[in-house]
Amino acid sequence: MNIILAKTAGFCMGVARALRQLDQAMAEHPGRTIVTLGPIIHNPQVLARYHQRGVRVAHSLEEIPDHAVVLVRAHGIPVDTARALAQRPLTVVDATCPKVKKAQVLIERHCHKGTPLLLFGEPDHPEVQGLKSRAERAVVFQSAEELDCLPHPFGPAVLAAQTTQDRTEFRRIAALLQARIPELTVLDTICDATKLRQDEVRALCRQVDGLVVVGGKNSGNTRRLAQIGAECGRPTWHVETAAELPAEMATFTTIGVTAGASTPAWIIDAVVDALRRL
């Protein structure tokens, strides 16, 4: 079996930075309670390793004890949550990805006078919750078809996207909306690292018989890589670990391997090694 590993597979800058900040916080505050507000990244195996080292995950403000060291996860948090943290006796470390932070700032700047936000993203995703809190009014949608539900006529509006969305689809949506909303401001909020990974998957699919996408099942950017592989007409497997690889893959001649932006190198290496043994 020939295995082609994507050059962009694995941690992006924002994820690597967030984990460095977590490691630094643990080193600088020995003996103190270290809490992340929500999973710091979307990878169960990485989270399990930090849990073994004593890092706690809080899913609400009420779960955070006073005087704890709190890390804001890479996806960012809503405005009201940030304000509530600032009012507590806590040491807060902001590990929000700089690309997400840039999107937050752009939305705040363009929606500060009440201009509604049209946000292309997953409604329940933590990043989306943080982004839409930067606008007084926000409509979150996941597909161009949902745009038909928007009221007519629609006045001035701002269009933005979750940073891990597909850039090609976002451009198509922008063109559709610009035809309907003359006073539409389109913000470029999709991360370049996301685009590079998606473009590489499309190129990889032209060289392989099948595609393995490695990463958390709850990782939006990883799921989109798997979606692109399927759209390119290649059998695609989204796995979290090597244990999930099916035996049927041994019948393929050339397999492509890529990974989401929150997938560590040690998991990718284990998947490649397992494929070589098939």
pLDDT tens-place string over residues 15-37: 999 999 999 999 999 999 999 99
- Report pLDDT for 149: 76
Predicted confidence at residue 152, as pLDDT, reads 59
Is 127 annotated as catalytic?
yes
Q: CA–CA separation, 216 vs 234, rounded Å?
A: 20
- What's this model's pTM, rounded to 2 decimal places? 0.88
Give the pLDDT of residue 182: 87
End-to-end CA distance of the chain: 8
- Across 222-247, b (16+ Cβ under 10 Å) vs e yields bbbbbbbbeebebbbbbbbebeebee
Question: Do the domains 13-96 and 2-10+192-277 match in fold?
Answer: no
Count of H helices and E strands in the chain?
9, 12
Cβ pair 224, 143 in contact under 8 A: no
Q: Which two tokens stand for residue 40?
A: 């710091």
Residue 147, pLDDT score: 80
Domain ranges for the chain: 2-10+192-277, 13-96, 99-186
- Phi and psi at residue 248, to the nearest 5°: -60, -20
- What does the CA dihedral 214, 278, 234, 13 come to, rounded to 10 degrees? 20
User: By the 8 A CB rule, do 84 and 53 touch?
Assistant: no
Whether domain 2-10+192-277 has CATH 1.20.1290.10: the reply is: no
What pLDDT, on a 0 to 100 scale, did the predictor assign at position 90?
97
249 backbone dihedrals φ, ψ, rounded to 5°:
-65, -20
Give, in words, the CATH class of 99-186: alpha beta
Q: How confident is the model at residue 261, as a pLDDT?
A: 94
Annotated catalytic residue within 127, 136, 145, 200: 127
Name residues of the chain where pLDDT drops below 70.
Answer: 151-154
CATH of domain 13-96: 3.40.50.11270
